[in-house]
Structure 1
Amino acid sequence: MSEQSKPGPTSADIAIVSETFPPEVNGVANTLRHLCQGLMSRGHRVSVIRPAQSTDCGSPLPGSNRLWAIEHTVRGLPLPGYPELQFGLARAATLRKLWEQQRPDVIYVATQGPLGIAAVSAARQLGIPVSSGFHTNFHSYSRHYRAGFIERLLRAYGRWFHNRTDVTLVPTRQMAGVVTAMGIHPVNVWSRGVDCQRFAPHKRDPELRSQWGLQQDAPAVLYVGRLASEKNLQLAVSCFERIHALHPQARFVLVGNGPLREKLAREHPDYIFCGIQRGESLARHYASGDIFLFPSKTDTFGNVVTEALASGLAVVAFDDAAAAEHLRHEENGMKASLDDDETFVEHALTLVQQHTLQCRIRHQARLDALDLDWPSRIEQFEQLTLTLKTRTRHHAISQGIPLI
């Protein structure tokens, strides 16, 4: 291990608790992969508590050393509506015993399932500072699964869960306002980065575009993400059908999987379904597209937006989440108001019809993405964590509480 990656005087033992973790494919898992690797590169000792996965083979965290990254798995059960994911089953007493033996300085709970509840309870019992992440709008998802009647209950649950932690971290300033309005406090913004070495325009693949059936400069309209109701995919479909009516050579390429795939494939046999892509293959799929549709109105961030920017795509999105934070209309992307589906479609049509505008936006998208580096985001998380650690220590000393 290099000298710079050894723990220093400001290093910390950080426990990360999550119901989802790499190699699972979703925004939370992707964020945690960068977080763990970034913290370890800055000399922090990281331990992870997560549900067991079918892919487990006893290997350490990707790109890590076992000396600084320790994984503890708990029993998991399939998450309703997301059978490929597990929610963790653990008792607070079990985690308390673990942390009594290997006491972390700070705990970060990324998800608010049963495992998260147990972790927060154990942390409070031991007096260990604990932060939580607001990664997913589960209360908003309920209406897409004919369970809108429980949205108020889920909001109340989220408020109870997050208010038991010392601080809740959100990815954008806009989301900070939303979460504060829910009655959750205190709230801090921890933004997200993007890997601009992996996601880059030069990875455009003419052979892949040929496989998609694209002729010459015909537009490839791309969607990357879960094929599920909460992603507002029906709008993406309507949008592409309008494009296709004017440009019959256009192709709609969907990267990802989910419960709507079978239905979409049956109703639209001309669509190109690429399934889940990872690593360099995912980067090639991004770079080989032209216009990127992000119709979701429920995401707290949407890492795919910044990945599309880094890949040099013209993004069409609503003025929400990552798009609200990073898109400037008609400069590096196109934005529509959350309640204006028709304008969303019109923006996509404009990009197809005005090639000069599309090229200018795609060029600027890449330039702006270069400023969204992960190291600065890891440093931001680090400062929030060390501040929480120091504040808790000072409080303990002032109260005469013994430091373990």
Structure 2
Amino acid sequence: MEDSRIIRLLERVEMFLYHRVSRIVSVTESFKKILVKRGIDARKISVVTNGVDISRFHPMVKDPELMAQYGLEGKFVAGYVGTHGMAHGLETLLRAAKRLGETSGGDLFRFILLGDGARKGALKETAREMGLENVIFIDSVPKEQVPRYWSLLDASIIHLRKTELFTTVIPSKLFECMGMGIPVLHGVAGESAYIVEREGVGLVFEPENDVELCQKLVRLKEDGQLYDRLRERCLIAARSYDRGELARKMLALVHPQMTQIKNLGVLEYC
């Protein structure tokens, strides 16, 4: 957005509210640091990240019906699940698919792109022009069906364009990968990359670098010990991002007396 009188007015309202409230909850440490730099008292800012509903997103056997439908038997499947927008730079995945398809053994890999968005049509047209036969586009599916499609993946690709703006965000699909026990190939710089490395749940590659993405993907396929270790770490890390526990933490911050109520259905309440 370009600077304007309306935006400046809204920013004044924003800062007024920040100073008046007794508690601010941020979803990333980066956002907290930004607020502190803008003059907000760090003592009243807490961080509660996004998380995963581990009752829905948990390890699953690859769905046999979908495996047959998309011809994935014997393939190492890497996938992107989410919005196909301008911010996501999914052309990087197409270039990686092209590069892998031209190498010896490249036919053993498949790329799935599931979701919709402003760039979906253009991406499909680009893939057609590139002659990509190892990329499968799948339209959005009902929410309750998403775990079935996650189950197809041997590796999950998370990617955003290479820009300073995205170093402060944490893509929520990272936590779903943890819950499903799917190692991550993470192409987002900043705080989320730090989480991937700290928790040991995947491999980080430079955003928009299709060469490095290919290298990390091949490494995941060929190094069974590494793959098993990352998968195990995903399941361990998921416990720290259980949405139920995070909801309780949130309640304790914004409404302390609620923590005294026994057997509260926290997710339903939130």
TM-score (norm 2): 0.74
- Residue-by-residue CA offset, 1:141-160 (whole Å, 9 max, x unaligned): x6xxxxxxx27999867753
Task: State, as a whole percentage, how many aligned pairs show the same letter.
Answer: 20
Matches within 5 A, 1:140-159: 150=2, 159=11
Relative to structure 1, is the Cα distance of residues 152 and 253 closer, same or farther in structure 2, using a 3 angstrom cutoff? farther
Which residue is equivalent to 1:232?
A: 89
Q: How many Å apart are 1:175 and its aligned residue?
A: 3.2
Which residue is equivalent to 1:266?
A: 125
Candidates 233, 250, 259, aligned match of 1:381: 250
Comparing both structures, which one devotes a greater share of its residues to helix? 2
Relative to structure 1, is the Cα distance of residues 287 and 343 closer, same or farther in structure 2, using a 3 angstrom cutoff? same
Q: How many Å apart are 1:313 and its aligned residue?
A: 1.1
Candidates 23, 29, 45, aligned match of 1:173: 29
Relative to structure 1, is the Cα distance of residues 272 and 381 closer, same or farther in structure 2, using a 3 angstrom cutoff? same
Distance 1:381 1:206 in 2: 39
Is 1:253–2:122 an aligned residue pair? no
Which residue is equivalent to 1:320?
A: 190
Distance 1:315 1:249 in 2: 19
Alpha-carbon RMSD: 3.2
- Residue-by-residue CA offset, 1:290-334 (whole Å, 9 max, x unaligned): 111111253722111110121121101134344433x22693211
Distance 1:333 1:152 in 2: 42
**Is the Cα contact below 8 Å between 2:91 and 2:123 reproduced in 1?**
no
Relative to structure 1, is the Cα distance of residues 268 and 159 closer, same or farther in structure 2, using a 3 angstrom cutoff? same
Relative to structure 1, is the Cα distance of residues 285 and 227 closer, same or farther in structure 2, using a 3 angstrom cutoff? same
Distance 2:178 2:49 in 1: 16
Which residue is equivalent to 1:194?
A: 52
Relative to structure 1, is the Cα distance of residues 383 and 214 closer, same or farther in structure 2, using a 3 angstrom cutoff? same
Which residue is equivalent to 1:293?
A: 157
Is 1:282–2:146 an aligned residue pair? yes
Is 1:359–2:228 an aligned residue pair? yes
Q: What residue ranges of structure 2 are gaps of 5+ in the alignment?
A: 258-270
**Is the Cα contact below 8 Å between 1:212 and 1:251 reproduced in 2?**
no
Q: How many Å apart are 1:206 and its aligned residue?
A: 2.4
SS of 1:367 mapped into structure 2 = helix
How many residue pairs end up in the alignment?
239
Instruction: Pick the structure with greater CA Rg.
Output: 1
Using CA pairs below 8 Å that are at least 6 residues apart, which structure has the higher relative contact order?
Answer: 2
Relative to structure 1, is the Cα distance of residues 340 and 180 closer, same or farther in structure 2, using a 3 angstrom cutoff? farther
AA matched with 2:32? A
Relative to structure 1, is the Cα distance of residues 332 and 199 closer, same or farther in structure 2, using a 3 angstrom cutoff? same
AA matched with 2:219? T
**Is the Cα contact below 8 Å between 1:291 and 1:314 reproduced in 2?**
yes
Q: What residue ranges of structure 1 are gaps of 5+ in the alignment?
A: 1-141, 143-149, 389-404
AA matched with 2:82? G
**Is the Cα contact below 8 Å between 1:306 and 1:369 reproduced in 2?**
yes
